[in-house]
Amino acid sequence: MKRRDFMKNALVFVSGASISASALEFIDPKKVLADNPDLRWAFLVDTHKCVGCGFCVKACKTENDIPMGANVTRTWVERYVTKKDGKTVSDSPKGALNGFTNKKIDQNHSGMLEVPDEDIAQAFFVPKLCNHCEIPACVQVCPVGATYSTKDGVVLVDRKWCIGCGYCIMGCPYGVRFFHPTEHVADKCTFCYHRISKGGNTACAQACPFEARRIGNLRDPNDPVAKAVLNQRVGILRDEYGTKPQVYYLGLNKEVH
């Protein structure tokens, strides 16, 4: 091959390759759908306001088709009772699907624990859900990329691609994941992505009678959630794992993690 021909061929090849590369870029669905630098979803839980009614759990199960009779849930509420001797007992029967209607603490196999009123120093409720971590452990460990982060900060599972290995369930430090009882793939909270990306509210926040739960956009300085995260003393769960969770808590106690 003559040198000039070679140059010519190389030129054709390179330009051809770059055209196809740019074509690919053009249809990258992630970009088209969610490349929005002005949007970063985050969640604010005000534990002072939660009364443990469990409306959020019910609403979530209904909205997201998680069977009521299955003992798994995308969101749940925990109860913490600190006694005057400094010990804390906690429970979350059925994830508080039916609310906390019993004073006794459900210790699973060890039965129901009764704490007399006069022994109680403080008691409170803490709602939990997927933290949509900025550095999600679940995304890191998924062997097929079925769990992924969207550009606007939500972590989702592709139900058509998940092989059901359970590695993400093991990898999540918050225990928010489970196998969907009928779909047989990994499942967890999506921040109701189908609703919020159309301007709606999450089912749990909508169901909460006391505004203990709120979804918001961290990049919008006027957003109430963004304001609270910036101006108030918020905490996050288990920061020692380095996952940078994006669910912020007002009134977090040291027992909660």
b/e burial code for range 125-159 (CB count within 10 A of at least 16 → b): bbbbbbbbbeebbbbeebeeebbbbbebbbbbbee
- Where does residue 179 fall: left (phi above 0), alpha (psi -120 to 50 degrees), or beta otherwise? beta
Cβ nearer to another protein, comparing 16 with 166:
166
Residues 227-246 that bind another protein (CB under 8 A): 241-242
Residues 66-105 that bind another protein (CB under 8 A): 67-73, 76, 89-92, 94-95, 98-99, 101
**Which of 10, 14, 120, 170 lies at the binding interface for another protein (CB under 8 A)?**
170
DSSP code for 41: E
Tell me: does residue 213 bind another protein (CB under 8 A): no
* Nearby residues of 98 by Cβ (< 8 Å), 6 or more positions away: 54
Stretch that binds another protein, among 14-22, 36-44, 62-70, 217-225 (CB under 8 A): 62-70
Cβ nearer to another protein, comparing 70 with 236:
70
**Which of 42, 59, 81, 169 lies at the binding interface for another protein (CB under 8 A)?**
169
Contact by Cβ (8 Å): 131, 174: yes
Minimum distance, C-beta of residue 233 to another protein, in the bound complex (Å) = 23
Distance CA 175, CA 158 (A): 19
Residues in contact with ligand SF4 by the rule CB under 6 A = 130-133, 136-138, 141-142, 144, 146-147, 155, 157, 162-168, 172, 174, 176-177, 185-186, 188, 243
